[in-house]
Structure 1
């Protein structure tokens, strides 16, 4: 199938509305537009350079956690949650009661990402895995009664208050299983020659168009991107997430997806997607480079602690995982007493490594601000 000749689907009359029934995507894809070749080359090169960091950085998992938290916060924000990055790192009791539901959605997303990535060590990416992630995503939050872990059996819609004024109406529930089966076959079809970044660009569009769940489709669809790249060995660690790019370009993101459905313009969507890969990987490389330099500077400061330098380095490893922390949390992580933890925090504050959090309503918290700011 030439991208230039692609037909996205058809509208089918239902009772008082028309659903959009997408065409299958499990086929050979090619294109004439040379811009796609150039963008694809740049995206693959930049992605490979980002992945190289995960192979050479000691203790890379310390830093990957913040990438995961940022992805969860940004992806959830696209869906309307109000949890900020600092709040995503806090404990539930430190969150204002009226914001805890949003906070829990972000925590569920963090948990779902980590579990999904761990499962990829033993199982391939699959529809079954997406269902498991979806079940975790909706656990104990709004949407918990919307068939968590199962494809929808009723009609849903995007935008508007009901089917009569919806911006987009996905395929009828009776077609969801077949469409998702076709999508899964596309991921593993070895009889077609389609580059992985093109496959996942088309796959993300198709998933969001099928909208197989009653809730959580945006977040699952965006999580599908790094899972696919990890499953196909294009990423060793989950260091690439596009939700920040999508959130900053939200209108263009939605418009690009809709243009495929309304104008068959898959080329525009793929260009947007590849530009997102290029920009996000470049930003990711800058973050890792900044972490290297920050780590060198901070460890130089810690040498001034003398015999307590090792304790300072242990604290630093904790702060890389959670740069917003209380004295009790730090003490628990290091298995030291509260007085010792408080003294260590005072030492780190004197070295300008830690600072007091501004919002005292959330309890006495301390921020590894130079590190935290790298992810804003």
Structure 2
């Protein structure tokens, strides 16, 4: 009995092709009307879609939600970059460059580029569809001025790359030959708009295919994960970029890579789709909890700020700033509030007494203060 090539259970991932002294993997196109028999996929798909809708509802009811989006983006940027080997912690990612140890500034810059790439891509979605063009633009931003800046920023690769190992001879995985990349990426773009396939199945398959094609010389993991959030926003599944799967992927890093490779070696797309749906379910639920904690913290702080009397107005302005930038110094506060340094110092002292700021350096001068209660919500 012939198998149905458009069923997840019958997926044929592709073939290994002989190149000069190595074999590359040539994936099959993915733009099909996908179906499946496994009832668990339906159950997980329904749950993931509902959880995503609940998370989106939070983003619509949280006052000034854009204030809190920055921390979501910074956490995603740091986590996605850490999967690729950068050593920057989230607290360091939130510091200014001059406050970061010199030996960590390259990694710090890569995280900042990711933040800029995400923010710019979200803005570009207002003018451009999610497409290979937008992904190339985003890649150019990601690679500017960092270690990958000489690896064709914003362009698909023109040479063979590989994953793992020191060369093509001992690589763990060798993506398709560079001549195949344009057609494969064109096919990938088409599935993003294939209305015969449910959204979450579409983006699950598209993410697998992107990482399998590995269309850029560098930055493929980060762009491929960033593409997931861009898809959610571009389709209206999310009104704001509030769900990022890199945290789940990093905590399950070996399983993540194994699931992707298992599709290539065993044609098991079903396993990958379930892994992806589980990532959405768990991450969306965690995102709801994060918003709940933010609302509880905000309500608690509003009560405390009333005790500041005439300074409460500046206190409210400062807390709004801290929700975007939880590490500050006196000069920043003075400049942001347009007040004198002594006035900024007094307000910071008030915040320390209220338990809203902690000094982190132990220095007498050049002190940095930390809004730890807010930061810890994202670190958990």
Please tell me the TM-score bracket, short chain as reference.
Answer: over 0.9
Q: How does 1:1-376 map to 2 (within 5 A)?
A: 1-190=6-195, 193-358=196-361, 363-376=366-379
Matches of 1:114 and 1:371, distance apart in 2? 22
Q: CA deviation at 1:188?
A: 1.5
Gaps in structure 1 of 5+ consecutive residues: none
Q: CA deviation at 1:279?
A: 0.5
CA contact (8 A) 1:176 1:212 kept: yes
Matches of 1:335 and 1:183, distance apart in 2? 50
The 1:276–1:216 alpha-carbon spacing in structure 2 relative to 1, beyond 3 Å, is same
Matches of 1:336 and 1:179, distance apart in 2? 57
Matches of 1:198 and 1:363, distance apart in 2? 51
Q: CA deviation at 1:343?
A: 1.2
Matches of 2:227 and 2:325, distance apart in 1? 25
Gaps in structure 2 of 5+ consecutive residues: 1-5
Matches of 2:150 and 2:348, distance apart in 1? 44
Give the secondary structure class of the aligned counterpart of 1:12. Answer: strand
Per-residue CA deviation, residues 64-104 of structure 1 (Å, 9 max, x unaligned), is: 11000000000000000000010110000000100000000
Per-residue CA deviation, residues 200-242 of structure 1 (Å, 9 max, x unaligned), is: 0000000000000000000000000010010000000000000
Matches of 1:228 and 1:278, distance apart in 2? 16
How many residue pairs were aligned? 374
Which stretch of the first structure deviates more once superposed, 40-49 or 181-190? 181-190
Matches of 1:72 and 1:359, distance apart in 2? 28
CA contact (8 A) 1:9 1:261 kept: yes
Per-residue CA deviation, residues 286-323 of structure 1 (Å, 9 max, x unaligned), is: 01001111101111000000111111011010000011
Q: CA deviation at 1:122?
A: 2.0
State TM-score, norm by structure 1. Answer: 0.98
